[in-house]
């Protein structure tokens, strides 16, 4: 395959950045999208150019490192991560536009690499269950009905890639936050911190500058782990409940 | 050490030093060793703990769990990971499950049985004391993770579900669909995040450890590079924990994440920490074969597929017909033929070697003849497509996504791939390396799996080390020593800083004509060909010579664009590949020295009449702990490594030959 690539190049956070055109021949349809970028980079390095920086690690769709906007869609045309997208999803001669996640709380570090540490701070604000090491009760002393366990699990599969934010016209992190709140607030172990968790996480999400949710739904369409849209409704429900409880975050 | 044990004399590529021993494990009853060690360990007053700084490198199951637990105890933790977030450590990719001797099924499981299975599974090259402790802690790990909200699979009763794994005869594997590693890691990461938010852990993401600082013989700090700005910084503390994972990426193609590297443990090795059993690599039989030269990494398919899939290749060499046009009598179901008792369910190392053999004969299928069929046609005929879909649907989908082939209509193609390294820094029972104050945990150490790791045991070891072992042994280390503050301009500090800076400048200044990846691929090919599934004397000698040549070429011809003062992914890779080249050589030397077959190490010279691996307990029942020989600064050789042997003693599980025929 031959491809025309338009890639966002930005030397560092202070640089203005611009789209740059590249031609790439000999692309195999069996390559993953990231292997296509590897191939371009080998060519750039040998030609004396700076290779395109992009985040990646496990290349199995689970670590959540990779993520770029491809032809306007977070992770590209299929509902998966960029590392699990293969070039057979494109056609010979196609022009492909590649950009970093676009959202104010995810500032660009270089080229396609953005800073997603806002997500870590949201988790640090309350996205955990306090369980000191070494003093946990016997595992089966906490029974959890299977439907609750399954729903908690479905939400726990979030990989924190940030596609939901990149896909949202408001740059909202609601799907990410709702997945964690739903996972932990459903479980009996999560009850003591249920109220403060949602108040603190939402407060941190707002402080980071993520936009509000207007039920556009693009987040779930682009989510590689298919976190359900209903989780956001659950987040809102948990938040209302917490506010009503009158407890301060 | 007995007379026979001194069998290994001076080798061509190494010399032999004093024997080494683990002096921390208490003797006596194996069942009470850890209890007694914990009781004997020194304690540190809670109010004094905050005065001590512990450096933790890595945030996977071992590092994340250690950082969270040590901070909770009151220590000031300074932690590092090269990823953008501690949540992305490669532990996240583990699929299958985690073992624990809970005996919830009343099927005869016990701590002792898990201990027994692990010693035997490791082909009698692991330590009984460590392995017993691992089995003992397994029970507490599940409790800890449940308390954190890890969503393990449950039954309708609300109780925890388990399954059997890797041919073990009891159901002791706890799991969270095919994402157990992810869920356990997220649990540890969340506990760590709480401590970061509370200010007890100072987290440095996108940082890489480049060297170790030793003062008065003890590990006191590290030099790290900020991968965004390129800035080098020195971090000083009272102890250093390396929880940086395995080094399977020495083979270039492996199931490891692309960033997984050996640099932290290799630099520690260069500063005096012994390296244990470097040649022990686990090769997994059920990976998706590579599709071409562009391939950057391999993807594992769960081993559970072998429960229902039948493995075959054409009988005829070079048979390129599509599988559905090869009649039944022209197919060779070679595992069922050679191992009628176990059939397609033989252990990982046996299945892997058999696949390589038939491919080497020219009977492999798919691109390059590097594949064998894993066929579900019989299973679909027997139980229906719907049942197969229910059991394995997610794996079939993953296969279809990567290969664009429909595994319901044609057999899957699989091939073995490098998966896990049992070797790592040599540690004693306290997880302390030969450098006092330097600890190694999880896959970064060599200790608990012997020559072969059983399925669902890697996660167990990472969390056992992180949640339960390190908090005890670090208390003991800190409580038993006095720590004078280290001045930031101490000569030992500035010397290491200068060396790190020089090395980066050197890499940037070569400006040759080859990319870093081209060297890495070439190294990987040498390692796979000569130090892969089967090794022999001539091949290993050839590999050592080729690797030495490659190292010279690397330091003359590598091209690293850009500068050191920016995000420079080529520079990161160059730094790591230089380490892989040195480690690759040591792996080959270790494999050459070990003239026996055991676990993941198959020496062709040591096999039984029917071609099975033959261990030689009388000569090789020892851990090989390698002391750095001094290869000079930039790819120059100045000395051979020195072999120190730690004799292995089996008081409880007595060595016996494995047989699957």
Q: Is the pLDDT of residue B611 over 90?
A: no
Q: Which of B65, B83, B85 to mutate to test the interface with A (most CBs of A within 10 A)?
A: B85
Tens digits of residue pLDDT in B567-593:
999 999 999 999 999 999 999 999 999
* B184 reaches A (C-beta below 8 A): no
Q: How many CB atoms lie within 10 A of CB B604?
A: 14
Tens digits of residue pLDDT in B415-424:
999 999 999 9
B348 is catalytic: yes
pLDDT more than 70, % of chain B: 98
Of the candidates B92, B140, B401, the beta carbon closest to that of A62 is on B92
Question: Among candidates B61, B32, B130, which has minimal Cα distance to B447?
Answer: B130
Q: Which of residues 451-470 of B touch A (CB under 8 A)?
A: 467-468
Tens digits of residue pLDDT in B453-471:
988 999 999 999 999 999 9
Q: Which residues of B touch A156 (CB under 8 A)?
A: 151, 176, 183, 186
Compute CA distances B21 → A225, B27, B33, B127, B132, whole Å: 48, 13, 17, 11, 18
Q: Which of residues 25-44 of B touch A (CB under 8 A)?
A: none
State the pLDDT at residue B632.
72
- ipTM metric: 0.98
Q: Is the pLDDT of residue B393 over 90?
A: no
Contact criterion met (CB < 8 Å) for B143 and A138: yes
Contact criterion met (CB < 8 Å) for A115 and B190: no
Contact criterion met (CB < 8 Å) for B183 and A51: no
Q: Is the pLDDT of residue B4 over 50?
A: no
Q: Is the pLDDT of residue B560 over 70?
A: yes
Rounded CA gap, A94 and B55, in Å?
A: 49
pLDDT more than 90, % of chain B: 87
Strand order through the sheet with B438-440: B201-204, B76-80, B53-57, B239-242, B438-440
Residue listed under structure tokens 């008081």: B651
Tell me the two tokens of residue A25. 């021949």
Contact criterion met (CB < 8 Å) for A124 and B154: no
Contact criterion met (CB < 8 Å) for A129 and B69: no
Q: Is the pLDDT of residue B7 over 70?
A: no
Q: Is the pLDDT of residue B166 over 70?
A: no
Which one of the listed residues B88, B331, B348, B413 is annotated catalytic? B348
Full-model pTM:
0.97
* Cα of B37 to nearest chain A Cα, Å: 16
Q: How many CB atoms lie within 10 A of CB A153?
A: 20
Phi, psi of B276 (to 5 degrees): -95, 130
Contact criterion met (CB < 8 Å) for B147 and A136: yes
Rounded CA gap, B637 and B626, in Å?
A: 16
Burial class (CB in 10 A: 0-12, 13-18, 19+), B158: middle
Q: Which of residues 397-436 of B touch A (CB under 8 A)?
A: 401-404
Of the candidates A58, A86, A134, the beta carbon closest to that of B257 is on A58
- Interval B385-410 mean pLDDT: 91
Instruction: Report yes or no: B303 and B285 within 8 Å, Cβ to Cβ.
Output: yes
State the pLDDT at residue B89.
98
Residue of A nearest to B74 (CA): A132
Q: Which of B394, B395, B561, B577 to mutate to test the interface with A (most CBs of A within 10 A)?
A: B561
Burial class (CB in 10 A: 0-12, 13-18, 19+), B23: exposed
State the pLDDT at residue B187.
98
* Cα of A244 to nearest chain B Cα, Å: 25
Q: Which residues of B touch A50 (CB under 8 A)?
A: 561-562
Of the candidates B143, B183, B294, the beta carbon closest to that of A137 is on B143
Tell me the two tokens of residue B350. 């046996």
* B85 reaches A (C-beta below 8 A): yes
* Cα of A32 to nearest chain B Cα, Å: 8
For residue B635, what pLDDT band results from cuts at 50, 70 and 90?
A: confident
- Per-residue confidence of chain A (249 residues) as pLDDT tens digits? 999 999 999 999 999 999 999 999 999 999 999 999 999 999 999 999 999 999 999 999 999 999 999 999 999 999 999 999 999 999 999 999 999 999 999 999 999 999 999 999 999 999 999 999 999 999 999 999 999 999 999 999 999 999 999 999 999 999 999 999 999 999 999 999 999 999 999 999 999 999 999 999 999 999 999 999 999 999 999 999 999 997 765
Contact criterion met (CB < 8 Å) for A133 and B182: no
Phi, psi of A163 (to 5 degrees): -60, -35
Contact criterion met (CB < 8 Å) for A110 and B186: no
Rounded CA gap, A109 and B600, in Å?
A: 42
CB pairs under 8 A between A and B: 209
The total number of residues shown for chain B amounts to 661
Q: Is the pLDDT of residue B553 over 80?
A: yes
Tens digits of residue pLDDT in B329-360:
999 999 999 999 888 888 788 899 999 999 99
Tell me the two tokens of residue A170. 């408001």
State the pLDDT at residue B3.
47
Q: Quick one: DSSP state of residue B149?
A: T
State the pLDDT at residue B1.
47
- Interval B385-397 mean pLDDT: 88
Of the candidates A30, A34, A153, the beta carbon closest to that of B292 is on A30
Residue listed under structure tokens 């996504």: B401
Contact criterion met (CB < 8 Å) for A133 and B468: yes
For residue B657, what pLDDT band results from cuts at 50, 70 and 90?
A: confident
State the pLDDT at residue B345.
84
């Amino acid at each position: 395959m031959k491809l025309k690539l338009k890639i966002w190049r930005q030397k560092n956070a202070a640089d203005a950045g611009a789209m740059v055109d590249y031609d790439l021949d000999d692309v195999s349809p069996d390559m993953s999208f990231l292997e296509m970028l590897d191939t371009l980079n080998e060519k750039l390095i040998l030609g004396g150019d700076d290779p395109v920086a992009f985040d990646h690690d496990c290349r199995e769709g689970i670590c959540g490192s990779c993520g770029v906007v491809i032809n306007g869609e977070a992770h590209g045309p299929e509902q998966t991560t960029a590392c699990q997208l293969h070039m057979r999803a494109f056609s010979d001669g196609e022009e492909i536009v590649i950009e970093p996640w676009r959202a104010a709380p995810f500032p660009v570090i270089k080229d396609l690499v953005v800073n997603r540490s806002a997500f870590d701070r949201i988790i640090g604000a309350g996205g955990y269950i306090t369980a000191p090491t070494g003093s946990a009760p016997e595992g089966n002393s906490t029974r959890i009905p299977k439907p609750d366990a399954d729903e908690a699990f479905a939400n726990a599969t979030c990989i924190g890639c940030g596609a939901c934010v990149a896909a949202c016209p408001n740059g909202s992190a609601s799907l990410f936050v709702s997945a964690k709140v739903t996972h932990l607030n459903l479980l009996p172990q999560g009850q003591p911190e249920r109220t403060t968790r949602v108040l603190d996480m939402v407060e941190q999400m707002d402080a980071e500058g993520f936009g509000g949710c207007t039920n556009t739904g693009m987040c779930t369409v682009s989510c590689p782990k298919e976190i359900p849209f209903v989780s956001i409704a659950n987040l809102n429900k948990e938040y209302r409940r917490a506010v009503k409880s009158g407890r301060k975050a | 050490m007995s007379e026979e044990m001194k069998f290994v004399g001076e080798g061509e590529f190494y010399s032999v030093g004093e024997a080494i021993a683990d002096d921390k494990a208490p003797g006596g009853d194996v069942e009470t060793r850890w209890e007694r060690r914990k009781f004997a360990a020194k304690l540190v007053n809670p109010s004094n703990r905050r005065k001590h700084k512990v450096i933790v490198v890595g945030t996977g199951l071992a590092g994340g769990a250690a950082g969270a637990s040590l901070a909770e105890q009151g220590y000031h933790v300074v932690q590092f990971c090269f990823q953008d977030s501690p949540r992305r450590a490669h532990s996240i990719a583990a699929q299958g499950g985690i073992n624990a001797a809970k005996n919830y099924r009343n099927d005869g499981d016990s701590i002792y049985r898990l201990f027994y299975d692990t010693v035997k599974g490791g082909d009698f090259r692991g330590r009984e004391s460590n392995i017993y402790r691992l089995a003992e802690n397994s029970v507490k790990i599940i409790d800890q993770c449940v308390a954190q909200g890890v969503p393990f699979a449950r039954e309708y009763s609300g109780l925890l579900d388990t399954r059997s794994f890797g041919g073990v005869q009891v159901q002791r594997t706890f799991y969270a669909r095919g994402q157990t590693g992810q869920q356990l890691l997220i649990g540890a990461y969340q506990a760590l995040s709480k401590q970061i938010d509370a200010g007890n852990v100072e987290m440095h993401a996108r940082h890489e450890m480049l060297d170790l600082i030793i003062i008065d013989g003890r590990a006191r700090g590290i030099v790290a590079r900020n991968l965004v700005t390129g800035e080098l910084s020195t971090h000083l503390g009272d102890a250093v924990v390396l929880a940086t994972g395995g080094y399977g990426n020495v083979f270039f193609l492996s199931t490891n994440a692309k960033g997984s590297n050996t640099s932290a443990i290799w630099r520690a090795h260069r500063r005096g920490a012994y390296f244990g059993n470097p040649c022990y690599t686990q090769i997994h039989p059920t990976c998706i074969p590579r599709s071409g030269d562009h391939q950057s990494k391999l993807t594992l398919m769960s081993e559970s597929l072998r429960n229902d899939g039948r493995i075959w290749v054409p009988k005829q060499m070079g048979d390129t017909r599509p599988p559905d046009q090869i009649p039944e009598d022209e197919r060779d179901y070679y595992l069922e033929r050679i191992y009628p008792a176990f059939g397609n369910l033989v252990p990982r190392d046996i299945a892997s070697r058999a696949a390589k053999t038939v491919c080497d004969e020219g009977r492999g299928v798919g691109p390059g003849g590097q594949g064998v069929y894993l066929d579900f046609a019989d299973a679909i005929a027997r139980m229906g497509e719907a049942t197969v879909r229910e059991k394995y649907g997610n794996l079939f989908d993953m296969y279809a996504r990567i290969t664009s082939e429909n595994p319901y209509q044609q057999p899957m193609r699989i091939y073995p791939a490098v998966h896990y390294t049992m070797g790592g820094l040599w540690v004693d029972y306290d997880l302390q390396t030969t450098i006092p104050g330097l600890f190694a945990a999880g896959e970064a150490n060599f200790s608990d799996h012997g020559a072969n790791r059983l399925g669902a045991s890697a996660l167990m070891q990472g969390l056992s080390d992180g949640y339960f072992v390190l908090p005890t042994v670090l208390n003991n280390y800190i409580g038993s020593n006095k720590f004078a503050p280290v001045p930031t301009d101490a000569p030992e500090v500035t010397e290491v800083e200068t060396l790190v800076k020089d090395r980066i400048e050197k890499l940037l200044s070569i400006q040759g004509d080859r990319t870093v990846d081209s060297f890495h691929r070439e190294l990987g090919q040498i390692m796979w060909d000569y130090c892969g599934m089967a090794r022999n004397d001539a091949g290993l000698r050839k590999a050592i010579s080729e690797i030495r040549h490659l190292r010279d070429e690397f330091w003359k011809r590598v091209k690293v664009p850009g500068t050191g003062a920016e995000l420079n992914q080529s520079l990161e890779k160059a730094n790591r590949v230089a380490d892989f080249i040195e480690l690759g050589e040591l792996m080959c030397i270790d494999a050459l020295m070990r003239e026996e077959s055991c676990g993941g190490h198959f020496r062709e010279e040591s096999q039984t009449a029917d071609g099975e691996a033959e261990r030689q307990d009388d000569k090789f029942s020892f851990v090989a702990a390698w002391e750095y020989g001094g290869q000079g600064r930039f790819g120059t050789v100045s000395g051979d490594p020195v072999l120190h042997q730690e004799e292995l003693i089996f008081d409880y599980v007595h060595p016996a030959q494995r047989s699957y025929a």
